[in-house]
Structure 1
Amino acid sequence: MSGASGPSLALSIGASDFRTLREQGRLYVDKTAFIARVLDDPGAVILLPRPRRFGKTTNLSTLRYFLEKADDDRSPLFADLAVWRETRLREHFGRYPVLWLTFKDVKKPTWDACFALTRELLGELYAQHRYLLDDELLTSDEAAIFRELLAQRAAPSHCELALRNLCRFLRRHHRQPVVILIDEYDTPIHAAFSAGYYDQAIDFFRTLLGAALKDNEDLFKGVLTGILRIAKESIFSGLNNLRVYSLLHPRYGDSFGFTEAEVADLAARAGYRGELAELRDWYNGYLFGDTVIYNPWSILNALADGRCSVYWVNTGSNDLIDELLMRQGASPHEDIERLLRGEGIRKPIVENTVLRDVYLDEDAMWSFLLFCGYLKASEVRREEVREIATLSIPNSEVREVFHGLFRTWLRRGLGGEREVEGLTRALLAGDTEAVEQRLARLLTESASYFDTAGNAVEMPPEQVYHAFVLGLLVHLQPQYLVRSNRESGQGRFDVMIVPRSAGGPGVVLELKVKKKGETLKQALAKALQQIETQDYAAELRAVGASPIHKLAFAFDGKATAAAPCCRSSTSRPASR
């Protein structure tokens, strides 16, 4: 680790350029072992997916300054770092022409805007190598295309081959193979998926990347970073020289994020007065391969502020996560309930992400949350052809994401924090009339809340109910446990609110959706009978809840108010 020391440690938050960090004496955690791993890697093309803000850009920048052929002497940047102590690696220092491209800002609402910005980025890349037009190594046709790209008016077909052609030109001039570094390669694909031009984006970027990285004799190394491994059939079709190291792979386990030892050293040098255990609870918990990793963005912010708070989750939109969790059916929401209670869930891991599947395939959804940094995987085992892992929420900061989503959903569905407070008070008081009014509002408002990209998505009452349960779970903590679909007495209740201390009120709810040919009154009677005959209140009596409220609700259509019927008791029901 290198940089300034002591309480005046020059922390740099948001800066990712290696040269700037070093020349300004800013904090730089020595990750240059990453360079050795890349150079020793048998893959000609390497993909390194990691969550956002985990040091991907800085690592690529470090690699660039080490490998790039330049007029100035860059050795002082590396003099006291790990890579410089491996003399065998110096033969690669300053040797190669490097193409550096970042797609971090290519997130546009239309394909035309996306293509225009991409063409602009390619034009800027060509401008860095304008000198190639002066050495007479280009044919007249090649020079014409070069100038089109410089002027940012090249046709799509010429843009698709821009990286491949520039590699060829650079190899001729420098007589050295080329290094291609692409940061956040998947950002345009995410934007395209959200905005509805996914097919056009996939077609273009598949050709752009494939032409540059597949069977390219002018290529020494290609390194790509992003958040996800987009499925091979989508964007890396035919790229047989690609090696992918997801966060499950141990090879680059400590290259991204901070290790325990690095955090302890940083905290000491920054004069952090808090407990390391607090930093660990808030920002630790990730597993990259076999290495326990802290979130680097949050650690730097916490050290700068002198306190732990929510940092990483505020650096990007959680809208897609919100949609995913809300649109799923009952099973995922039961799993989320377990996650929020600190439990793990066993799930298959899908490393090749087809974005369309994350809404349709529950396994793809869990894997998406894992690779985006919202879950961690432990106890990974291969079973037949699949990897199965125990997924859990890594730390307190990420738990706040889930809590925040369901708090927000409940507030919006009910019309504000005051309404949420009113609902919880009504539940704990057994006031069915007030609960009925608020549940009706929740059912009515849910459609507008899930209107995304101009397309309203109908949420059936069952899914509204599951989101309602999760909203209650996070809102009533820590005084109450909120459980759903658990065994109590002789059956499985729908929702139970359990006081953590004896003497507090307890609530059991049974919710029924009216079936075809059934009246609302019949559905309601069935729900109430089920509460009594199955003795759902048994668990509440066991923990000493008092009073115990037993509430039954029936629903007839999404926009129809619940029809209430309840009985409250503190004693065992009459014998049956």
Structure 2
Amino acid sequence: MDNLLRKLPIGIQTFEKLRRGDYLYVDKTDFVWKIASTSTPYFLSRPRRFGKSLLLSTFEAYFEGKRELFEGLAIAGMEKEWKRYPVLHLDLNAEKYDSTRALTEILSRQLTQWELKYGKGVDEETLAGRFSGVIRRASEQAGCGVVVLVDEYDKPLLQALGDNALLDDYRKTLKAFYGVLKSSDRYLRFVFLTGVTKFAQVSVFSDLNHLQDISLWPDYAALCGITLDELLRNFRPELEILAASNDLSYDETVGRMKRLYDGYHFFQNSLGVFNPFSVLNALKAKVFDNFWFQTGTPTFLVELLKRSDYDLRTLIDGIEAPASSFMEYRVDANNPIPLIYQSGYLTIKDYDREFGNYLLEFPNDEVRYGFINFLIPYYTSMANDDQGFYIGKFVQELRSGDYDSFLTRLQAFFADFPYELSDKTERHYQVVFYLVFKLMGQFTDAEVRSARGRADAVVKTPKYIYVFEFKLNGTADQALRQIDDKGYLIPYQSDGRELVKIGVEFSAEERNIGRWLVG
């Protein structure tokens, strides 16, 4: 087919529409058949825009026996019966949950649609009672078990974060509603729930103890997302056009796609997967951009970070943690890491079998720099539309050897902090230094350290290597001496570029850079 006519399924979340509309489809139906061949109730956690809705729609088409939609796909050679089941598909993704009444009305509206088809009992008044009645009647009328698919089960809970009273109301409502999936087990053929976050306090994970959470199972690590092999096999014509549009070779284009959009791991040492939303948009727009990050602002995550007083430097450099500390979110635990991981801003990069600890890091450059850019306004006075200007100027000044202008700009940056930030702790200013240097890493080789025994920051440009030492409780002279005494320049002496050592002191009284010395 002419590449100009190949249709990329951006925003297509319905399997039937995708197949009948002749959109490109990365075949995941072997997973669908394997999962559907059991009667086990499942739960899958994946970040937003990772294909969860399309996955559930695929299950819906399969259980409705729509064999014609699966022609040419892997499942066509696996399934023999194509039996039809009643399917109850609840999609909580596209609604606004801003009151207890809103959630009740949305659930009630969906129940009414099912009751129009399967009938309603005269004594069924509660949401849970109506749900239970629909499941029972659907099973009795069809003479087989019912399939229940719940898309984004946790959307109401995520929207209520920060409002404890509303969150508690939602938890009580959903506890009773989802609890039906256990009491109605004899009427069910298959249950699959998706979401972003595993809330520990909701009964779907406490009372419904036979629900299998496959979020970290190796067999399903590539269930959502696009593997490198799938990218190269399904999208080569689009990749070639993307390469030509950006004056890159094919291999350079694949490399940039990997740096920007690959790197998600949902099991230790598993295949990495690309973010499908970013991949499709990059191929469609023929440019590289932060497509996924721009679709949702993680404001609630930043608020969680601020309330927990979490050291951002630890987050940015990577976190070692057991699975128990990031797979379930507890509102009262003051631990933001589970939400940050499950929302897709961190992923599994390594695993220590001896101690059972996972290394969580940013999956790729889109998330790394998108997240840091998003954090800057919350820790400084910098507005979002100023970020490119500031960071670009910082980099340009160091490339040209104009370190005085660089430090003067940094000084002005701190001077412009709003009043409410004036009483911040020393660590707050250390974090801001850290963020600035990390952002520079998009454009040049910049390293910033928080460990002892190393320079605070090293920036490498084509002509210069800068070694910075910042003293928050000392002088610029002491900072410069420390660079010499600790031998911070030694690793770079054979490099050939000009070495510039800079000692900087921070004035506690002025809450700003006081002076600097260059050696």
TM-based fold match above 0.5: yes
1:77 aligns with 2:69: yes
**Aligned with residue 59 of structure 2, among 63, 73, 87:** 63
The corresponding residue for 1:283 is 261
One-letter code aligned to 2:508: F
Q: Is the 8 A contact 2:64 2:83 kept in 1?
A: yes
After superposition, residues 194-233 of structure 1 pair within 5 angstroms as 194-196=162-164, 197-214=166-183, 216-231=185-200
**Aligned with residue 511 of structure 1, among 472, 476, 479:** 472
Q: 1:63 to 1:368 in 2, by over 3 A?
A: same
Q: Is there any run of 5+ residues in structure 1 with no aligned partner, and where?
A: 146-153, 340-344, 448-457, 513-525, 571-576
* The structure with more radius of gyration: 1
Q: Structure 1 stretch 370-379 or stretch 479-488: which is displaced more?
A: 479-488
1:377 aligns with 2:352: no
Q: 1:442 to 1:216 in 2, by over 3 A?
A: same
The corresponding residue for 1:483 is 448
CA displacement at 1:212 relative to structure 2: 2.6
**Aligned with residue 80 of structure 2, among 73, 78, 90:** 90
CA displacement at 1:16 relative to structure 2: 1.1
One-letter code aligned to 1:404: N
After superposition, residues 118-517 of structure 1 pair within 5 angstroms as 118-127=107-116, 129=117, 132-133=118-119, 142-143=121-122, 145=124, 158-196=126-164, 197-214=166-183, 216-231=185-200, 235-246=204-215, 248-270=216-238, 272-273=240-241, 274=243, 275=250, 276-289=254-267, 290-327=270-307, 329=309, 332-338=311-317, 345-350=319-324, 351-356=326-331, 360-361=334-335, 365-383=336-354, 387-409=356-378, 412-413=381-382, 416=386, 428-429=403-404, 438-442=413-417, 444-446=419-421, 460-475=425-440, 478-479=443-444, 481-488=446-453, 495-496=456-457, 498-500=459-461, 503=464, 506-512=467-473
One-letter code aligned to 2:193: L
Match of 1:180, SS?
strand
CA displacement at 1:467 relative to structure 2: 3.4
CA–CA separation in structure 2 for the residues paired with 1:413 and 1:241? 49
The corresponding residue for 2:246 is none
CA–CA separation in structure 1 for the residues paired with 2:392 and 2:271? 42
Deviations 1:183-223 (A, max 9, x none): 11111111122444111111110110012334521111111
CA–CA separation in structure 2 for the residues paired with 1:549 and 1:119? 65
1:19 aligns with 2:12: no
One-letter code aligned to 2:224: F
Q: Is the 8 A contact 1:479 1:499 kept in 2?
A: yes
Match of 2:381, SS?
helix
Match of 1:48, SS?
strand
Q: 1:313 to 1:414 in 2, by over 3 A?
A: closer
One-letter code aligned to 1:118: L
Q: Is the 8 A contact 2:465 2:499 kept in 1?
A: yes
Deviations 1:373-392 (A, max 9, x none): 222213334556xx412223
Deviations 1:266-288 (A, max 9, x none): 22354733223332232222223
CA displacement at 1:125 relative to structure 2: 3.5
CA displacement at 1:234 relative to structure 2: 5.5
Q: Is the 8 A contact 1:382 1:388 kept in 2?
A: yes
Q: Is the 8 A contact 2:259 2:365 kept in 1?
A: yes
The corresponding residue for 1:114 is 103
One-letter code aligned to 2:30: A
Match of 1:166, SS?
helix
Q: Is the 8 A contact 1:310 1:397 kept in 2?
A: yes
CA displacement at 1:469 relative to structure 2: 2.1
Q: Structure 1 stretch 55-64 or stretch 388-397: which is displaced more?
A: 388-397
Q: 1:5 to 1:212 in 2, by over 3 A?
A: farther
Match of 1:29, SS?
coil
CA displacement at 1:567 relative to structure 2: 5.2
CA displacement at 1:235 relative to structure 2: 4.4
Q: Is the 8 A contact 1:505 1:546 kept in 2?
A: yes
Match of 2:85, SS?
coil
Q: Is the 8 A contact 1:68 1:95 kept in 2?
A: yes
One-letter code aligned to 1:165: G
Match of 2:373, SS?
helix
CA–CA separation in structure 1 for the residues paired with 2:299 and 2:378? 12
The corresponding residue for 1:37 is 34
Q: Is the 8 A contact 1:214 1:241 kept in 2?
A: no
CA displacement at 1:17 relative to structure 2: 0.8
Counting matched residue pairs gives 494
The corresponding residue for 2:49 is 53
Q: Is there any run of 5+ residues in structure 2 with no aligned partner, and where?
A: 244-249
Q: 1:6 to 1:271 in 2, by over 3 A?
A: farther
Q: Structure 1 stretch 431-440 or stretch 164-173: which is displaced more?
A: 431-440
Q: 1:390 to 1:563 in 2, by over 3 A?
A: closer
Q: Is the 8 A contact 1:510 1:527 kept in 2?
A: yes
The corresponding residue for 1:450 is none
CA displacement at 1:233 relative to structure 2: 5.7
CA displacement at 1:261 relative to structure 2: 2.4
Deviations 1:483-541 (A, max 9, x none): 243445xxx77x445454665665422114xxxxxxxxxxxxx5568536745785565
The corresponding residue for 1:550 is 503
CA–CA separation in structure 2 for the residues paired with 1:175 and 1:568? 83
The corresponding residue for 2:92 is 103
Q: Is the 8 A contact 1:528 1:551 kept in 2?
A: yes
| TM-score, scaled to structure 2 | 0.83
CA displacement at 1:30 relative to structure 2: 1.9
CA–CA separation in structure 1 for the residues paired with 2:57 and 2:138? 20
Deviations 1:36-82 (A, max 9, x none): 22223462x1001111112111111111112127xxxx322123222
Deviations 1:158-206 (A, max 9, x none): 1133322210111222221111010111111111224441111111101
State the percentage of identical aligned residues: 23
